[in-house]
Amino acid sequence: MDEALDTEYGPEKGAFDPKATFRLQLPKTIGESVIGEWKTIRPDGKGYFDLAAYHGNGSTNSASYMHVEIESPSDQSAEILLGPDDGARVWVNGKDVFVSRESKAAAPEAQKVPVKLIKGKNTVLLKIANGNNPHGFYFSLTSADETKVAPKP
């Protein structure tokens, strides 16, 4: 899991492009590469993003990314409420702001990540490194006045 959190697979580099694809080299023991691409996903009724549903058997020992844009009416402090299964890394406006190397089940609001939002568009890039199934996360954002903000899909 540490290797997946620390390895740049492509989405960390440059501006977000929803049409971008990434050639991902698999471990030498497998000896092949795959093409990664962006897909739109939605959480279930409880706010859980089920990545295993998209990856199937390929979600064991994998890394997945989420990109979201958040519009802020002003410069402000906020908190990302995160519940990953397993490890996670977060970038806000291109700045690496959080890493968790814990191997545990996803739970809503398990980790609180303080962030600074700027007035206008803010980008959040989330990497989830999964050991074993299930593979997914909970994600929400709350402002300093504890108002939950719904990100743009």
Give the pTM: 0.86
132 pLDDT band (50/70/90 cuts)? confident
Q: Compare 23 and 19 and report the one with higher pLDDT.
A: 19
The closest alpha carbon to 25, from 39, 8, 40, 38, belongs to: 8
Q: How far apart are the first and last CA of the chain?
A: 27
Annotation: CATH topology of 2-149: Jelly Rolls (2.60.120)
DSSP state of 133: S
pLDDT for position 118: 95
What digits encode the pLDDT tens for the residues 50-106?
988 887 666 777 788 999 999 999 999 999 999 999 899 999 999 999 999 988 999
Tell me what percent of the residues of the chain surpass a pLDDT of 70.
83
Task: Parse the chain into domains and list their residue ranges.
Answer: 2-149
